[in-house]
């Protein structure tokens, strides 16, 4: 029996057309998809049944917001029983944020949700749009049930949704997962490998999601010379509930700058969660490795361990949307941060 897949077209380069003002999202990708599958040799034997849902208006991924993350997740959950899998077409600029967000905001588990996009639109010479779309559809139709999860298919890789990051604006392998082994590879054939999906037992009823303001979570990157005043200013907004701090190496921060560390402590004491991630692509936060890292732990910051920046930001938005208090968020992050 053929698989039933829903393709959600949110916008992005994959379906853009040239305009007088540059590339812009175009609404006629559904016709391209239908023609593509009719011609696609990969699906001649047992082609999946495809339905499409196009957003109106279409969204350039640079305009992505937490509200759209919730919309995508809601659209999938409302149709979850009607399809065997889902493909989300998305712009590349913020695709890693959306794939991370969907790992948290989609609470139903057991079916593949595959995000993809393109570096060049359909119709452009040497475009990767066709190959990425075909690969995403095939992965959604064939991913083993034990591995079914939110993932990103791009170029030659299948990657876990909340461990992926964009590493190139020009290469066809534009995304990588340096802190987590890939879920599979794409060549002449598709090979699945690696980790099964993470399953969380949920005994209590799921809370209704209510998104906090967009600036409830802020992102701050450490750099030489950073001051306590900057952190103070970042956290001055009364709606700020959490800070993702991109630290050096294994979670290091200026240890000879007591003002900065005191400000971190002050922020935490005010009920603002400070979650620390690593700046290097393959970095993992380990506060005990250096004294410079221990200082952040002593100030009350929480280790994000192997979380990417994208996963840290979206996980915090999700926990806030669940209505969790600061103490509850801190507790969840300390015990389940790698999920």
Is the separation of the CB atoms in 323 and 207 below 8 Å? yes
Is the separation of the CB atoms in 163 and 132 below 8 Å? no
For residue 23, give the 3-state DSSP assignment: strand
Tell me the helices (H) and strands (E) count for the chain, helix number first: 9, 16
Find tokens 């392998």 and name the residue: 173
Instruction: Transcribe 309-336 into DSSP letters.
Output: HHHHHHHHHHHHHTT--HHHHHHHHHHH
Helix (H) / strand (E) element for 292: namely helix 291-298
Active site positions, annotated: 13
Apex 323 CA angle, 320 and 328, nearest 5: 80
Q: Residue 221, Cα to own-chain centre: how many angstroms?
A: 19
For residue 112, give the 3-state DSSP assignment: coil
* φ, ψ of residue 54 in degrees (nearest 5): -105, 135
DSSP 275: E
Exposure string over 220-252, b if 16+ CB within 10 A, otherwise e? bebeeeeebeebeebbeeeebbbbbbbbbbbbb
Closest of 197, 195, 219, 209 to residue 311, by C-alpha = 219
DSSP 198: P
Please report the sign of the dihedral spanned by the C-alpha atoms of residue 83, residue 65, residue 121, residue 136: negative
Is the separation of the CB atoms in 40 and 5 below 8 Å? no
């Amino acid at each position: 029996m053929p698989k039933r897949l829903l393709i959600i077209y949110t916008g992005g380069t994959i379906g853009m057309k040239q305009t007088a003002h540059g590339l812009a999202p175009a609404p006629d990708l559904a016709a391209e998809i239908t023609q593509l599958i009719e011609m696609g040799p990969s699906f001649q034997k047992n082609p999946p049944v495809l339905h499409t849902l196009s957003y109106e208006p279409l969204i350039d991924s640079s305009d992505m917001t937490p509200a759209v993350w919730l919309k995508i997740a809601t659209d999938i959950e409302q149709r979850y029983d009607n399809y065997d899998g889902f493909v989300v077409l998305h712009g590349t600029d913020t695709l890693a944020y959306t794939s991370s967000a969907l790992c948290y905001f989609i609470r139903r588990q057991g079916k593949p949700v595959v995000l993809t996009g393109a570096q060049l639109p359909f119709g452009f010479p040497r475009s990767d749009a066709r190959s990425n779309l075909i690969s995403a559809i095939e992965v959604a139709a064939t991913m083993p049930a034990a591995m079914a999860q939110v993932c990103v298919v791009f170029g030659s890789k299948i990657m876990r949704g909340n461990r992926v990051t964009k590493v190139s604006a020009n290469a066809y392998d534009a995304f990588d997962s340096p802190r987590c082994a890939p879920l599979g590879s794409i060549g002449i054939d598709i090979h699945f490998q690696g980790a099964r999906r993470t399953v969380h037992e949920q005994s209590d009823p799921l809370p209704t999601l209510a998104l906090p303001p967009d600036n409830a979570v802020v992102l701050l990157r450490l750099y030489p010379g950073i001051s306590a005043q900057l952190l103070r200013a970042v956290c001055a907004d009364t709606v700020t509930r959490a800070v993702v701090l991109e630290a050096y190496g294994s979670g290091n921060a200026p240890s000879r700058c007591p003002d900065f560390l005191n400000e971190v402590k002050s922020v935490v004491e005010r009920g603002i969660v400070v979650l620390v991630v690593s700046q290097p692509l393959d970095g993992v936060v380990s506060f005990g490795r250096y004294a410079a890292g221990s200082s952040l732990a002593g100030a009350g910051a929480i280790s994000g361990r192997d979380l990417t920046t994208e996963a840290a930001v979206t996980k915090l938005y999700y926990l806030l949307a669940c209505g969790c208090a600061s103490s509850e968020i801190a507790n969840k992050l300390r015990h389940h941060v790698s999920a």
